[in-house]
Structure 1
Amino acid sequence: IGLSNVEDLSWKQRVNLAACINCGRCDSVCPAYASGRELSPRAIVQKLKSTYDKFNIQTEGFFSSGLITENEVWSCTNCGACVEECPAMINHVDYIIDLRRYLVAENRLEQQKTAVFSNLDQNYNAFGLPSYKRNDWLEELGVPLLEQHRNAEYLYYIGDAGAYDPRAQQVVKSFVKILQAAEVDFAIMSHQERNEGEIAKRMGEEGRFQLIAMENIATFEFYDVKKIITHDPHSFNMLKNEYPEFGGHYEVIHHTVLIHQLLEQNRLPVTTKKLEKVVFHDPCNLSRWNSIVDEPRQALSHVLDTPLLEIEQSKDRSFCCGAGGGNYWYKVPEQEKISTLRLRQLTSVNPQTIAVACPYCLMMMEDAVRTSELTVKVRDLAELVYDAMEYR
Structure 2
Amino acid sequence: MTSIARSRPAAPVPRPATRAGDDRREANAATVLRAVLDHGPVARSAVARLTGLSAAAVSRQVVDLLRLELLAERPELAVAVPGVRGRPQLPLEVDAERLAVAGLHVGLPYSTFALLDLRGRVLFRQELPHGGRRGSAALKALLARVPRLLAAAAAAPATAGRRVLGLGAVTGGAVDAERGVTVRHEPLGWHGVPLRELLERATGLPVRVDNHARALAAAEVLFGDPAARRSMVQLFVGHVVDASISVAGTVHQGPPSVTGDGGHLPVPGSTARCHCGRSGCLSVAASDDTLFDAAVAQGVIARPDRGLLLAAVRAGDVRADALVRARARVVGGALALLADVVNPDLLVLTETFAVADPVYLDVVREEFALRSHLHRDAALLVAQRFGADALAVAACAPVLGELYARPLLNH
TM-score by length of 2: 0.30
The structure with the largest helix share of the pair is 1
Structure with higher Rg: it is: 2
